[in-house]
């Protein structure tokens, strides 16, 4: 056999291996075993006088249909159809890197829990019967996000200058959360508590992408990460809820009251630590498990479209105007937020090269109906805004509404162009990810400017 045909044969084997490797039921050692068989067969066949090409065809044919084969493998290893997450992949021994990662992760989780408890030493205890201290509401993100940032810096590589920038961002957040002399029951204090995490989440994002913010997929990956983290966080929270119930049930049965432990330790430390554990899970499972956020998007896009259209139809039919109550604007903000989320996560899971399909048309219908609903709501609100006066809450809500509206209007335009084959999906994706910092920038403005502008009320 000449060197050239040898090379060709190796190429063919590599192609075959890559093809087999795509089967979910076949793990790497299985493929190696099958490849060994293929090579034994090839050797025997070439010895019998076949050329490399002929031998390859015969050997592959004798191996049998890969569909059938992977079905049989799946039957022999049924657990493989349920992808395992926390276990080391494919039964390989945990490497030094995964051990290091676990060590760093548990260290940071512990640090977050300690950070939550530290203020208690300086006169900010959380007590079961007292009101929840506003200090914790304002600083909630500062207990966790720095640890998360450290985790990503550690994972993606870092240097002193970059670390310093991140430290400065969090220091600025800490200062803004704590220097303002908020009046008691102040709206701007609640606004700070709500908006600081949104502003600082961008900082976490910078750490997540590891300095490649403007690279093609960096921001979209961060969006995917955020969605999955939210889902994992909810799951962990549900588990935590069960633990809490059992804590109460068991200790009360022996006449002890675990209130102080649950309210002061279990819930705050658990809530902080779960963010890190959830992030690690998302990182670890990236390639292992189907992303959930796009699946939920698929389920809820049609539902929300129907809901919005039914709402518009009912309003048109009955002629009932929107009853503008005090905080109705926030409700419609949330609605737009959900719609932007649906568009974003649908985009995150879509192949930008694929031609428009029914689901894209549905997304367009969703965005347009959301725009119409919000337009109607805004019209009613603006018509009566003089009656309410400008409180911090209303200005913040109005600002958010405008930001979401701009996002959706341009998205609708891009979707319409895409569905009518006049532009590519990539344009929409670019628009969505380019818009991300706007949300954080607005949140930063709310945190930075609103308290002094509105006199801390």
Partner 1 sequence: MDLSKDLVAASSTPLVLAILAEGESYGYAIIKRVAELSGGHLHWTDGMLYPVLHRLERQGYVAAKWDASESGRKRKYYRITKEGQAELAAQRQQWKAVDDTLRGIWMKECTV
Footprint on this chain of partner 1 (rule: CB under 8 A): 29-30, 32-34, 36-37, 39-41, 43, 62-66, 68-69, 72-73, 75-77
**Residue 45 to residue 39: CA distance in whole angstroms:** 10
Minimum distance from CB of 333 to partner 1 (Å)?
Answer: 55
In degrees, to the nearest 5, what angle opens at C-alpha 208 toward C-alphas 339 and 424? 45
Minimum distance from CB of 60 to partner 1 (Å)?
Answer: 10
Minimum distance from CB of 20 to partner 1 (Å)?
Answer: 10
Closest CB to partner 1 among 40 and 100? 40
CA nearest to 439, candidates 341, 300, 352, 363 = 341
Minimum distance from CB of 59 to partner 1 (Å)?
Answer: 8
Collapsed DSSP state (helix, strand, coil) of residue 82: coil
Minimum distance from CB of 94 to partner 1 (Å)?
Answer: 19
Minimum distance from CB of 112 to partner 1 (Å)?
Answer: 41
Closest CB to partner 1 among 64 and 321? 64
DSSP-assigned states of every residue in 18-39: HHHHT-TT--HHHHHHHHHHHH
Answer whether 173's CB lies under 8 Å from 448's CB.
no
Minimum distance from CB of 288 to partner 1 (Å)?
Answer: 21
Closest CB to partner 1 among 63 and 284? 63
In degrees, to the nearest 5, what angle opens at C-alpha 217 toward C-alphas 231 and 21? 80
Closest CB to partner 1 among 26 and 373? 26
Closest CB to partner 1 among 92 and 100? 92
Direct distance between the N- and C-terminal alpha carbons of the chain, in angstroms, rounded to an integer: 86
From residue 189, give the alpha-carbon distance in Å to each of 72, 398, 427: 62, 18, 38
**Residue 51 to residue 46: CA distance in whole angstroms:** 6
Answer whether 362's CB lies under 8 Å from 327's CB.
no
Closest CB to partner 1 among 47 and 131? 47
CA nearest to 263, candidates 121, 394, 117 = 117
**Residue 226 to residue 287: CA distance in whole angstroms:** 16
**Residue 407 to residue 336: CA distance in whole angstroms:** 10
CB neighbours of residue 261 within 10 Å: 15
Closest CB to partner 1 among 32 and 90? 32
Closest CB to partner 1 among 16 and 145? 16
Cα 452 to its chain centre, rounded Å, is 33
Minimum distance from CB of 25 to partner 1 (Å)?
Answer: 9
CB neighbours of residue 344 within 10 Å: 23
């Amino acid at each position: 056999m000449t060197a050239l045909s040898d090379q060709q044969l190796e190429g063919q084997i590599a192609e075959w291996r890559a093809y087999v490797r795509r089967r979910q039921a076949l793990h790497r050692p299985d493929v190696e075993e099958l490849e060994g068989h293929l090579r034994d067969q090839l050797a025997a066949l070439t010895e019998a006088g076949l050329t490399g090409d002929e031998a390859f065809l015969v050997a592959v044919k004798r191996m049998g249909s890969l569909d059938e084969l992977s079905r049989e493998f799946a039957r022999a290893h049924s657990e493989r159809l349920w992808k395992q997450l926390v276990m080391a992949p494919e039964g390989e021994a945990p490497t030094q890197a995964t051990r290091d990662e676990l060590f760093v992760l548990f260290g940071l989780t512990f640090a977050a829990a300690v950070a939550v408890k530290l203020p208690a030493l300086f006169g900010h205890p959380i007590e079961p019967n007292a009101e929840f201290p506003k200090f914790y509401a304002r600083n909630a993100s500062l207990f966790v996000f720095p640890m998360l940032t450290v985790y990503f810096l550690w994972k993606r590589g870092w240097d002193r200058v970059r670390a310093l920038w991140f430290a400065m961002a969090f220091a600025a957040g800490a200062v803004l959360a704590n220097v303002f002399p908020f009046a008691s029951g102040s709206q701007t204090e609640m606004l700070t508590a709500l908006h600081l995490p949104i502003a600082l989440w961008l900082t976490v994002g910078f750490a997540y992408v590891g300095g490649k913010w403007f690279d093609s997929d960096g921001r979209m990956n961060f969006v995917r990460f955020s969605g999955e983290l939210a889902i994992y966080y909810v799951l962990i929270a549900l588990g935590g809820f069960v633990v809490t119930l059992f804590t109460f049930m068991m200790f009360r049965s022996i006449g002890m009251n675990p209130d102080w432990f649950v309210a002061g330790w279990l819930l705050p430390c658990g809530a902080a630590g779960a963010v890190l554990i959830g992030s690690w899970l998302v990182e670890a499972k990236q390639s292992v498990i189907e992303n959930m956020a796009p699946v939920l998007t698929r389920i809820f896009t049609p539902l929300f479209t129907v809901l919005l259209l039914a709402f518009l139809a009912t309003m048109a039919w009955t002629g009932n105007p929107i009853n503008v109550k005090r905080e109705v604007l926030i409700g419609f903000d949330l609605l737009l937020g959900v719609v932007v989320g649906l568009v974003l996560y649908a985009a995150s899971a879509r192949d930008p090269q694929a031609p428009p399909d029914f689901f894209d048309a549905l997304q367009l219908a969703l965005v347009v109906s959301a725009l119409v609903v919000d337009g109607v709501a805004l019209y009613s609100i603006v018509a009566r805004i003089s009656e309410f006066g400008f409180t911090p809450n209303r200005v913040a809500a109005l600002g958010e509404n405008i930001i979401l509206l701009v996002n959706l209007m341009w998205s609708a335009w891009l979707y319409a162009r895409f569905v009518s084959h006049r532009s590519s999906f990539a344009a929409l994706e670019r628009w969505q990810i380019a818009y991300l910092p706007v949300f954080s920038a607005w949140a930063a403005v709310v945190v930075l400017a609103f308290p002094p502008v509105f006199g801390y009320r």
